[in-house]
Amino acid sequence: MTTTTTIAGADQSVYIARAMIADALAAALRDAHATPDMGAPEADVLCGAFAHAAASLDEKQTNALSLGEIAPASADARPLADWYALSVETRRAALQAVFGFVVSRECPPLETEFIPSKDAATRAQHLADLAGFYRAFGLTSDPATPRRADHICLHLGFISVLNRKLAALTAGGIPADDAAEQADVCLHALRSFLVEHVCWWVPTFARRLELHATAIAEEAIDDTAQGLRVLARLARFIRAWMALERISAGCEPIRRIVGPNVDEEIVGDDECLAADGVTPCDGCGPAPIAASSVLPSAATDQAQS
């Protein structure tokens, strides 16, 4: 008789809550020239999910924050809910105002633009490492919505995938040895991904997005100004979310000081940064990977595999 089990010490509801917030943030930060097509989640559901996940943290852990993070206990998901309460047109206008149609110099939503080195080979290798994470969990590209592999919405989507897989593993019904092994793989991947590709630059990106959106809102008019003000509050919330996800995954605080380092030759969001000898969108990873392929449907497929 095969024994099934849940993973000791894990809480399925917390994994689901974390995945829900990551999903919503991923869709919220999609490219300016892509229609924000995610339906508006229930405000109470979003706020409840974040509060539930934040309540699971140890108070001592929340006192040790990375540079730029905000204590999760001092924040709530209302800015995220308010963002989805805006019209699609207002959200698109606000995103276009801060990000434009090429890489923003003020607050690029792209990880490699925060790497101090402008060496093409260094950046291509970084993108290749990202590709390795995506491919390891069976995530594929979608030519219909091209996007660079280092776009923050893909980072968020991948984090959601891992949390949903962990939630499925904690639900039981999987042989004990298999569940433990799969959970260990997912937890290790999540921690490594956060440390190597998320925690070190996202708080700085969010702070710069907050400042930039606030500044240009003063000159904007009507609905665009309103959208920019909400986006600024959403950016501040991202700093609290980052602390929540890092602490929940068991990652140490990061004290690294970084800033955007956009190259003089701006690369469009649908272009690939490949070094000599590296095949674009192969060595650079699934650069055009679609947000839809790392949101709930993909997560469910992977969790059941």
Give the domain range for residue 173: 9-304
Q: What's the confidence (pLDDT) of residue 259?
A: 87
Q: What's the confidence (pLDDT) of residue 118?
A: 86
Half-sphere exposure of 73 (CA within 13 A, CB side): 12
Please write the tens of the pLDDT for every residue from 68-77. Answer: 999 999 999 9
Please write the tens of the pLDDT for every residue from 284-301. Answer: 222 333 333 433 333 333
Q: Crossing angle for the helix pair 222-249 and 78-85, nearest 10 degrees?
A: 140
2 in a structural domain? no
68 in a structural domain? yes
Question: At residue 291, what is the residue type?
Answer: A
Average model confidence (pLDDT) across the chain: 81
Strands 174-175 and 4-5: antiparallel
CA distance 180 to 169: 8
Q: Which pair of tokens denotes residue 284? A: 């650079």
Residue 41 sits in a domain of what CATH number? 1.10.3480.10
82 in a structural domain? yes
What does the DSSP assignment read for 246-264?
Answer: HHHHTPPP----------S
Question: How many structural domains comprise the chain?
Answer: 1
CA distance 135 to 140: 7
19 in a structural domain? yes
Q: Is the pLDDT of residue 86 over 60?
A: yes
In angstroms, what CA-CA distances link 224 with 87, 173, 206, 214, 236?
10, 49, 19, 12, 19
Q: What's the confidence (pLDDT) of residue 290?
A: 36
286 in a structural domain? yes
51 in a structural domain? yes
Q: Is the pLDDT of residue 139 over 90?
A: no
128 in a structural domain? yes
Contact criterion met (CB below 8 Å) for 232 and 217: yes
Nearest alpha carbon to residue 193 among 133, 113, 136, 131: 133
Contact criterion met (CB below 8 Å) for 62 and 72: yes
Place of tokens 């989640």: 41
229 in a structural domain? yes
Q: What's the confidence (pLDDT) of residue 143?
A: 67
Please write the tens of the pLDDT for every residue from 18-31. Answer: 999 999 999 999 86
CA distance 241 to 87: 24
Please write the tens of the pLDDT for every residue from 142-169. Answer: 666 667 889 999 999 999 999 999 999 8
Q: Which pair of tokens denotes residue 177? A: 């040895």
Q: Is the pLDDT of residue 1 over 90?
A: no
Contact criterion met (CB below 8 Å) for 288 and 145: yes
Q: Is the pLDDT of residue 241 over 70?
A: yes
